[in-house]
């Protein structure tokens, strides 16, 4: 179990939080909130930072273009609640977004669709992977993306929009949502592939017999990360049907095929996770088997030494008895002869074990 997981287990959840009407941020990424507005169509692009404390989100929407509100940091509870309530989300959605329980949900309202999931990334300051809450609000011509941490999961998409190389700027907001969902999925898959490469290195070390305690800690950390990612992907697939139903018709008929494709990608991700779990289980077995073999070698050496000295101990015990009449004790060459006898016994025992191929 990595340090992140141990910290989460020790974290105190406020009592009766499910009865609380007021939302509160329960995560551990207290970073300033920033809002970047990216407005585009096939011909024009505008990118600017805005402050929603003095401006309504809907007032910033340009109905003639696609509007992507890229929000980083969700620790400002008042502002997050204001944005969500302005777009018609329920208080429960806000509370789930601000919690640290890795809640996954897809809710289709009359005019917007809300998607909440987790994204995993590597944090050099921590052992293993870290996770962050990611949420999307899809409207008719806008997408609002929330990310809890500053990890650049969407930077590549922003670059593609700026360079206008991909078909994003010729599509609607629903296609942008599809691309953003894929970015989260690719990030998770990339983390799994990075762990698999690390497992390959560990496998080579284990085959060479260089297993260490740190290696065991890393393998257990990978197991915890695997369970978190798998639970997140499975939960998203179960909730994803609410998006495919498209009851509010925010997904255009021509783009439904893309969202079906994303469902296939999630199935592929689960297959990659299954392969990763098999590799992890094999390495754990190999690690423990190496330790058992190493322990068996130690026990075998100790057994060989003990076997050699057992008859010598017996002879010493015989000559150490306090009988008055023992001819060897008063014999002039008894001491030297006893050493010769002990040496011959040890040599014969050693040769016999070599013949038996015990070592």
Would you list the domain boundaries of the chain? 3-290, 294-355
The predicted structure's pLDDT at residue 296:
83
Domains 3-290 and 294-355 share a fold: no
* Cα distance between residue 259 and residue 269, in whole Å: 15
Question: What mean pLDDT comes out for the span 106-133?
Answer: 86
Q: How confident is the model at residue 124 (pLDDT cuts 50, 70, 90)?
A: low
Residue 294 DSSP class: H
Which strands sit side by side in the sheet containing 34-40, from one edge to the other?
45-50, 34-40, 66-72, 142-147, 129-138, 113-122, 105-108
pLDDT of 2 reads 44
Tokens at residue 255, please?
Answer: 């783009």
> Does position 225 have pLDDT exceeding 90, yes or no?
no
Q: What does residue 191 show for φ and ψ, rounded to 5 degrees?
A: -65, -40
The per-residue pLDDT for 126 is 60
Confidence tier at 13 by pLDDT (50, 70, 90): very low
State the pLDDT at residue 20: 55
Q: Give the confidence band of 64 by pLDDT, cuts at 50, 70, 90.
A: very high
- Compute the distance between CA of residue 80 and CA of residue 286 in angstroms, rounded to an integer: 48
From the list 16, 18, 17, 26, the residue with the least C-alpha distance to 99 is 26
Return the closest-CA partner of residue 104 out of 18, 16, 228, 7. 228
> What confidence category does residue 1 fall into, taking pLDDT thresholds of 50, 70 and 90?
very low
Buried b or exposed e, range 208-243, using 16+ CB within 10 angstroms = eeebeeebbebbbbbbbbbebbbebbebbeebbebb
* Per-residue pLDDT reduced to its tens digit, 236-266: 999 999 999 999 999 999 999 999 999 999 9
φ/ψ of 39, rounded to 5, equals -110, 130
Residue 17: what pLDDT?
A: 52
Q: Is the pLDDT assigned to residue 273 strictly greater than 60? A: yes
Residue 34: strand pairing partners: 72
Lowest mean pLDDT among 40-44, 71-75, 125-129, 318-322: 125-129
CA 61 – CA 49 distance, rounded (Å): 13
Contact 49, 35 (CB under 8 A): yes
Residue 4 has pLDDT above 60, yes or no: no
304's tokens? 């060989």
CATH of domain 294-355: 1.20.58
pLDDT (mean) for 16-45: 82
Residue 118 DSSP SS3: strand
Q: Give the domain 3-290 fold.
A: Beta Polymerase; domain 2 (3.30.460)
Q: Is the pLDDT of residue 11 over 60?
A: no
Non-local (6+) Cβ contacts of 96 within 8 A are 103, 105, 116
Written as six digits, the tokens of 114 are 């809300």
CA–CA dist 35, 51 (Å, integer): 7
CA trace torsion 344, 345, 350, 353 (10° rounding): 140
**Helix (H, G, I), strand (E, B), or coil: what is residue 138?**
strand
Are β-strands 66-72 and 45-50 bridged in parallel, bridged antiparallel, or unpaired? unpaired
What does the alpha-carbon distance between residue 111 and residue 93 come to, in Å, rounded to a whole number?
Answer: 15
Instruction: Encode pLDDT of 184-210 as tens digits.
Output: 999 988 888 888 888 888 877 777 766
Task: State pTM to two decimals.
Answer: 0.77
């Amino acid at each position: 179990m990595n340090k992140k997981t141990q910290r989460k287990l020790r974290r105190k959840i406020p009592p009766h939080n499910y009865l609380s009407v007021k939302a509160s941020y329960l995560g551990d990424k207290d970073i300033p909130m920033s809002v970047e507005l990216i407005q585009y169509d096939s011909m024009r692009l505008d990118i600017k930072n805005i402050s929603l404390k003095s401006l309504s989100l809907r007032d910033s929407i340009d109905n003639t273009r696609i509007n992507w509100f890229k929000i980083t940091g969700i620790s400002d509870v008042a502002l997050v609640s204001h944005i969500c309530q302005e777009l018609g989300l329920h208080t429960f959605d806000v509370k789930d977004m601000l919690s640290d329980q890795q809640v996954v949900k897809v809710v289709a309202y009359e005019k917007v669709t809300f998607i909440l999931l987790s994204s995993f990334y590597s944090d050099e300051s921590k052992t293993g992977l870290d996770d962050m809450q990611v949420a999307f609000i899809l409207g008719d011509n806008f997408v609002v993306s929330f990310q809890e941490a500053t990890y650049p999961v969407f930077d590549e998409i922003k670059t593609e929009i700026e360079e206008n190389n991909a078909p994003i700027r010729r599509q609607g907001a629903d296609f942008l949502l599809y691309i953003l969902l894929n970015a989260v999925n690719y990030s998770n898959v990339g983390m799994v592939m990075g762990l698999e490469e690390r497992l390959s290195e560990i496998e080579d070390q284990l085959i060479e017999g260089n297993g260490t305690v740190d290696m065991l800690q890393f393998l257990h950390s990978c197991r915890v990360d695997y369970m978190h990612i798998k639970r997140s992907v499975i939960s998203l697939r179960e909730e994803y049907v609410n998006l495919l139903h498209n009851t509010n018709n925010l997904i255009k008929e021509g783009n439904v095929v893309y969202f079906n494709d994303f469902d296939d990608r999630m199935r592929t991700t689960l297959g990659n996770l299954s392969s990763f779990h098999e590799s992890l289980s094999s390495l754990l077995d190999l690690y423990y088997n190496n330790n058992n073999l190493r322990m068996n070698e130690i026990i075998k050496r100790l057994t060989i030494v003990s076997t050699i000295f057992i008859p010598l101990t017996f002879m010493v015990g015989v000559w150490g008895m306090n009988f008055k009449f023992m001819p060897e004790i008063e014999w002039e060459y008894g001491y030297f002869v006893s050493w010769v006898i002990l040496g011959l016994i040890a040599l014969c025992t050693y040769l016999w074990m070599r013949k038996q191929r015990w070592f």
